[in-house]
Chain A
Amino acid sequence: MTEEIIIAGFGGQGVLSMGKILAYSGVMQNQEVSWMPSYGPEMRGGTANVTVIVSDERISSPILNKFDTAIILNQQSMDKFENAVKPGGLLIYDPNGITRHPERKDINIYSIAAADEASKIGLSKVFNMMVLGGFLKLKPIVQLENIRKGLEKSLPSRHHKLIPENEKAITIGQDLIQPVHVL
């Protein structure tokens, strides 16, 4: 199994940390992982993205131009990465702020209204975990118990009290995700 994922959105949406938690969870179940962020200008207010690869085998390039899954959280990222999904692959997007919805017919497309839901129930800090929950419902590449271990590893210990909130967000995200176009 090799899953090649791009997660893309605005800086501050938790794109990089979502990738980090996913990567740590892969480590916890003894898989190979790589986490390759965009860095530099993107970190200073523009778009942010991270390539995460989780695999049973040694990972070759940590930098890719085609992905099994794209998780897209703003319009700029939709413009940039819709066409980078492999045919038959998966595109997940949050429709909040999306002006041009995905148009491809050769991939599976799901939407998750996580931004709206998160602000409605006052959990906007764990918006990214709702999105992760949605992804894991479709592709359970890491087990939830390993997500918990990944959270423990990637969050500083002063934030460990937030882990139950993160786990709740994952569960909410699993219920929230909706098919848009399924092959």
Chain B
Amino acid sequence: MGELRLMKGNEAVAEAAIRAGCDGYFGYPITPQSEVMEYLMVERPYETSGMVVLQAESEVAAINMLYGGAGTGKMVMTSSSSPGVSLMQEGISYLAGAELPALIVNIVRGGPGLGTIQPSQADYFQAVKGGGHGDYHMIVYAPASVQEMADFVQIGFDVAFKYRTPVMILSDGAIGQMMEKVYLADPVARLTDEEVVARCPWASNGRPMSRGHNIITSLDLDPAGQERLNLVLQEKYREIEETEVRFEMIDCEDAEYIFVAFGLSARICQKAMQLARNKGIKVGLFRPITVFPFPKNEIRELGLKVKGMLVVEMNAGQMIEDVQLSVGCNIPIKHYGRFGGIIPTPDEVLKALEEKIIGG
């Protein structure tokens, strides 16, 4: 299956995009995700498949280039890191409002403001709760390995087109910068113009006499029309919640306590689990892979069987709100986090479990 490489997470995203048949990448450099565009510029897919790789003049320009490309039915993506993704929020809201498929990769760094260039998970609220205006969601994947960084590019494009919605890969500086083994899927060709028309009958890419105009917009001055759009969006989000949830459970069968963590934090928790089990503490890991839709039913059921949960995040407590809403308040649910680019160590995580949950 595919090809085995040792790659950085950022490089894996770029290579996976080429192999997925992506039509266009638009971005603006920012640490710690600059390798995405650097890799594409070295590989020069514009000379082989015709994929556009363009350094825009800003993140605002890049996200609006996505809007234009997606409006014609093309597979388009961008990547950035936290401050750059903040600049993109208006465009993301417009993509959601106009029901356009697009892939946005956020290699999160510490904030707020310009913050730091070290890894963080402090953009969870922004990604999951709608960082832009209006009632919208993106489907948000939280990869925990370089392999998943590559996998969620193809999967992300697939669901973006299935639901006509922007999709985000919410990663962090550590997974972007680290190298691991990755199996890359065999490349697929970009869609032809005819195939794009067949896949996206809604797209604005030249009107044959057989149909009316396809208009791509998020504006409807008639409130009744705008409410209809909102109802369509909400119905879509409910369907996504029913069908697109992904999660991983490790050693939860006999567990008395549970770590809940996404992305890099989940990897650190796995090490903390080994340390805990060496001491005879039965702890398991619940890892949401999609953070929207959140695996609320699965985590609620797990909450009925254990004595407590420690939510470990590289932020001040964001996903814990979704865990608490899902599980209720029958068991203690506490948070352990480090901020501003500091990565918690497995020792610290185990100590937090012992102090806040077991002894708490």
List residues of A whose CB falls within 8 A of some B CB. Answer: 20, 23-24, 27, 32-37, 39-41, 59-66, 153-154
Q: Let me know if B32 is at the binding interface, CB within 8 A.
A: yes
Chain B stretch 326-360: residues in CB contact (< 8 A) with chain A: 343, 345-347
Across the interface, B346 reaches (CB within 8 A) one of A39, A61, A153, A154, namely A61
Q: Contact: B343 with A63, CB < 8 Å?
A: yes
Interface membership of B174, Cβ < 8 A: yes
Instruction: Return chain B residues, CB-CB under 8 Å to A35.
Output: 6, 178-180
Is the CB of B31 closer than 8 A to any CB of chain A? Answer: yes
- Quick check: B346 and A64 within 8 Å, CB to CB? yes
CA distance A130 to B103 in the complex (A): 45
CA distance A33 to B118 in the complex (A): 22
Interface hit among B63-71, B123-131, B237-245, B267-275: B267-275
Tell me which of B32, B181, B267 contacts A61 (CB under 8 A).
B267
Given the known inter-chain contacts A65-B345, A65-B346, please indicate yes or no for A40 contacting B32, CB distance below 8 A.
Answer: yes
In the bound assembly, the distance between CA atoms of A27 and B274 in angstroms comes to 24
Once A33-B6, A60-B267, A153-B6 are accepted as A-B contacts, the answer to whether A40 and B117 lie under 8 Å apart by CB is yes
Q: Which residue of A lies closest to B267 (CB)?
A: A61
B177 beta carbon closer than 8 Å to chain A: yes
Q: Do the beta carbons of B173 and A63 come within 8 Å of each other?
A: no
| A65 and B347 within 8 A (CB) | yes
Q: With a CB–CB cut-off of 8 A, which chain B residues contact A66? A: 347
Docked-complex contact B270 and A63, CB < 8 angstroms:
no
In the complex, what distance in Å separates the CA atom of A66 from the CA atom of B278? 16
| Of the residues A24, A32, A40, A65, contact of B31 by C-beta under 8 Å | A40
Picked from B4, B179, B273, B346, the residue with its CB within 8 Å of the CB of A34 is: B179
Residue in B177, B181, B345 whose CB lies within 8 Å of A39: B177
B274 cross-chain contacts in A, Cβ below 8 A: 60
For residue A58, give the distance in angstroms from its CB to the closest CB of chain B: 9
Q: Is the CB of A27 within 8 A of B181?
A: yes
A24 to chain B: which residues have CB within 8 Å? 6
Task: Beyond the given A39-B31, A153-B6, please list 6 additional residue pairs across the A-B interface where CB-CB is below 8 A.
Answer: A37-B178, A40-B31, A60-B271, A61-B346, A62-B180, A65-B347
Known: A39-B32, A60-B270. A33 touches B181 (CB 8 A): yes
Q: Write the chain A residue with the least CB distance to B345.
A: A65
Contact A61-B6, Cβ < 8 Å, known A34-B178, A34-B179, A35-B179: no
Complex: A39 Cα to B264 Cα, angstroms: 16
Contacting residues, chain A, for B6 (C-beta < 8 A): 20, 23-24, 27, 33, 35, 153-154
Q: How far is the CA of A154 from the CA of B6 in the complex (A)?
A: 9
Contacts A60-B267, A61-B270, A65-B347; A36 near B4 (Cβ below 8 A): no
Cβ–Cβ contact A36 & B346, under 8 A? no
Decide yes or no: A34 and B180 within 8 Å by CB, A61-B268, A153-B6 being known contacts. yes
Docked complex Cα distance between A34 and B180 (Å):
5
Q: Which partner residue on chain B sits nearest A16 by CB separation? A: B179
Task: Evaluate contact between B181 and A40: CB separation under 8 angstroms.
Answer: no
Residues on B with C-beta less than 8 A from A39 are 31-32, 117, 173, 177
Return chain A residues, CB-CB under 8 Å to B4: 27
Taken together as a complex, chains A and B put the C-alpha atoms of A35 and B182 apart, in Å, by: 13
How far does the alpha carbon of A162 sit from the alpha carbon of B274 in the complex, in Å?
Answer: 42
Residue of B nearest to A66 (CB): B347
* A residues less than 8 Å from B345 (CB atoms): 63-65
Can you name 19 A-B pairs with beta carbons within 8 Å? A23-B179, A32-B181, A33-B6, A33-B180, A35-B178, A39-B32, A39-B177, A40-B117, A40-B118, A59-B180, A60-B270, A60-B271, A61-B267, A61-B268, A63-B174, A63-B267, A64-B345, A65-B345, A154-B6
Write out the residue numbers on chain B whose beta carbons fall within 8 Å of the beta carbon of A60. 267-268, 270-271, 273-274
Measured between beta carbons, the chain B residues less than 8 angstroms from A34 are 178-180
Give the distance in Å from the alpha carbon of A171 to the alpha carbon of B268 in the complex.
36
Closest 4 pairs between A and B when the two form their complex, measured CB to CB: A60-B270, A61-B271, A65-B345, A35-B179
In the complex, which of the residues A27, A36, A40, A62 has the most CB atoms of chain B within 10 Å of its own CB atom? A62
Tell me the nearest residue of chain A to B285, going by C-beta: A60
- What residues on B are CB-neighbors of A20 within 8 Å? 6, 179
For A64, the chain B residues whose CB sits under 8 A away are 271, 345-346
Contact check, B178 vs A36: say whether CB atoms are below 8 A apart.
yes
Shortest Cβ gap from A53 to chain B (Å)? 10
In whole angstroms, how far apart are the Cα atoms of A37 and B118 in the complex? 11
